[in-house]
A and B are shown apart, each in its own frame.
Chain A
Amino acid sequence: MLPEIQTHLEQLKWLLIILIALVCPLLALMLGGTTVSLASASLKHRTGEKETPTWIDGLLRRANPSVEHDALVVLTIIASLLLFKIIYRPQLFSNAAWIGLILLLTAGLGLMVCCRYRLVGQRPLDRTALAIGGAGVTIVAVCCLALACTESILLTPEFWPHLSHLPYLFLSWHGFTRFAEFLLLTCAITGNALLFSTTSPNPTSIPPPAADCVARRIGAGLSLGSLLLWPLALGLEMTLIPSLAGGRLLTILAVASILLAALCTLLLGMTLYGKMHTPKTFFAMIILLFWCWAFMGHVARERTLTPVALAGLAVETPTPALATEGESIPPEVSPSKAAKVLNGKELFEQKCSVCHRFDQRVVGPPLNSVVPGYRSDPETLTAFLMQPVKRNPDYPAMPNLGLTADQAEAIADYLFQNAEP
């Protein structure tokens, strides 16, 4: 990894969280809005232009976007995905795969933008627009599912080496749960948008038109429903999250987000019963929920993706699609059976110098006093090194270091070279 990235890793991670916290609500709003628009437009299309119930029009009006909004979303998404890859450099995907995902997501978003533009433009709707919109929504949804599953498999690095043989390991129940949570939050924010967005400049004075009422009720229902389902999804996630990823902070965050959802529900309920709260409160709360959700993922990743955990994962390179690329975050650990160059000096320093010096007693006797005795019969020394026995009562027994014959010979040679004659 580039040293600059290494030094600023913490800050980059926080940047990523903030970006995710920003981009997810916007993406969710866009997704939700487009879905609602598409649904109402296709209903309108079905029932014909003349007999459209007014509430559908109302829905359409409420779900209108702005171009700047969409552009912002697309750019932020690209930025956060790139950042994700840079920070975590998962050994899962090659750069090509990751860029492919980004492009696909962008394409989906682009399709969605086109469709919404046409919807807003009040041109007569045709099937192609709806189809494009539908395709866009589907692509984006699938990409979000893929991202949720990626997030999930990042929490189980032990499966990374097997992805190339068993690609279905990429999908996981935990990933689906994360996606479900994202969907719930999408519904919540869309519902809120439907509830609070206005077509007329003065919402409070004039009693709202009937069509708006239906749309508002749909929005409220969406919002309330998703907030009520939120703790179930979160409870499910606590059950499904890999055990090494969970911890006290994660549980507390989960509980906090449930409490937040509770507060939001209560306030929403009160709003519906008359007491008005500013829309900003709700949007803030939902965005806070998004942030909790993203932060939980971050916390889980921090617990799991430690260098010691990532060591030893020999990721294979069979197919280019999911090939490993670059080094892993920590350098690979050499297995205990790796062939070492039989350098007597190195072996001595690794294995013997703990207890032996040549000129002084450390744990074992000074080697200058023992080695010369073997010069007449060097093979005895090699044999002794392989099978040490307790000789001298003044010193503790030399442990059997499990040396192979070659290693013992190399050490013996080194000893003979360096000890006194």
Chain B
Amino acid sequence: MSDKAPKRPGTRLRKLFCLAVFSYFALLVLATLSAGLVRGFFAPPTTQPIAFPHTTHADKLNLACDFCHSGVKQEASAGVPALSVCLSCHRAIATDRPEIEKLLGYERRGEPVRWQRLHNLPDFIHFTHQRHIQAEQPCAACHGAVERMLEVQRVRSLKMGWCVSCHRSRGAPRDCATCHK
């Protein structure tokens, strides 16, 4: 019983092969995961401090977009409504609902609502809402059907290529300096 079975000649090579394959694929699995991570695929969905439903306000009540986002016709940014705009109705309407109670809490504390921004451009980009409204771009073209979103999501990539292709098809200025500050 002393003699062992002769070792097969390719065992070490096989083991090496397995190890090589394993490490190669492990590395690439990590690379893929990190690509996903970097691109934000694992980001948790944004939660807003108050669950404001556009479906009720923009769809059911048919409030115009610029009723709240009033900056859109005059200035660069559309803005979010001041607390007093919300309270002009909600001081009396539906005050028993928990979200409205949150709103009233903000008013009591004199604290502004910190909404989580969804449509964010880098700070070297100059974007004016006013010019786009003047060119009769509907809000839904860039923001999607917001009035049908219970929770607002971003549905456009907001990438430069997209902006440029729209500018190109419509004959809007394509000069770099138009948007790059």
Contact = CB atoms under 8 A, between A and B. Distances in A.
A/B: CB atoms within 8 Å of each other: yes
Interface of A: 156, 158-159, 161-162, 164-166, 169, 228, 231-232, 234-235, 238-239, 242-244, 246-248, 250-251, 254-255, 258-259, 261-262, 265-266, 269-270, 273-274, 306-314, 330, 333-337, 350-351, 354-355, 362-363, 396-399, 401-402
A265 B168 CA distance: 48
A248 B140 contact: no
Contact of A258 (B18, B32, B93): B32
Contacts of A235: 28, 31-32, 35
Contact of B39 (A243, A307, A350, A402): A243
15 contacts: A162-B165, A162-B166, A231-B31, A238-B32, A246-B39, A248-B42, A258-B28, A269-B14, A307-B148, A308-B148, A333-B140, A336-B64, A336-B65, A355-B93, A399-B89
Contacts of A306: 155
B32 A161 contact: no
Contacts of A250: 36, 41
Contact of B145 (A248, A259, A330): A330
A354 B162 contact: no
A269 B18 contact: yes
Interface in B126-181: 136, 138-149, 153-157, 162, 165-166, 168-169
Given A269-B18, A307-B148, A166 B35 contact: no
Contacts of A246: 36, 39, 41
Nearest to A314: B141
Complex A-B, nearest 3 residue pairs according to Cβ-Cβ distance, in ascending order = A312-B140, A335-B138, A311-B145
Contacts of A242: 157
B136 A335 contact: yes
Given A158-B156, A159-B165, A312-B144, 5 more contacts: A232-B28, A235-B31, A251-B41, A396-B88, A399-B89
A159 B161 CA distance: 9
B32 A311 contact: no
Contacts of B70: 402
A117 B34 CA distance: 48
Interface of B: 10, 14, 17-18, 21-22, 24-25, 28-29, 31-33, 35-36, 39-42, 61-67, 70, 85, 87-89, 91-93, 136, 138-149, 153-157, 162, 165-166, 168-169
Nearest to A261: B25
A251 B36 contact: yes
Contacts of B154: 244
A265 B148 contact: no
B139 A335 contact: yes
A262 B143 contact: no
A101 to B, nearest CB: 23
B13 to A, nearest CB: 8
A251 B65 contact: no
A196 B154 CA distance: 49
Contact of A396 (B24, B92, B139): B92
A259 B29 contact: yes
Dominant secondary structure at the B interface: helix
B145 A312 contact: yes
A330 B144 CA distance: 11
A336 B42 contact: no
A309 B41 contact: no
Given A166-B168, A239-B39, A254 B32 contact: yes
Residue with the highest number of chain B CB atoms closer than 10 Å, among A165, A254, A399: A399
Nearest to B149: A308
A232 B153 CA distance: 31
Contact of A308 (B10, B17, B85, B153): B153
A243 B162 CA distance: 13
B52 to A, nearest CB: 16
A337 B136 contact: yes
Residue with the highest number of chain B CB atoms closer than 10 Å, among A231, A261, A311: A311
B65 A265 contact: no
A269 B14 CA distance: 8
B145 A333 contact: yes
B91 A238 contact: no
B141 A255 contact: no
A230 to B, nearest CB: 9
A41 to B, nearest CB: 34
Contacts of A269: 14, 17-18, 21
Contact of B14 (A232, A273, A312): A273
Contacts of B18: 266, 269
B165 A397 contact: no
A158 B157 contact: yes
A126 B119 CA distance: 62
A165 B169 contact: yes
B36 A308 contact: no
A218 B36 CA distance: 35
B67 to A, nearest CB: 6
B62 A308 contact: no
Nearest to A166: B165
Contacts of B14: 269-270, 273
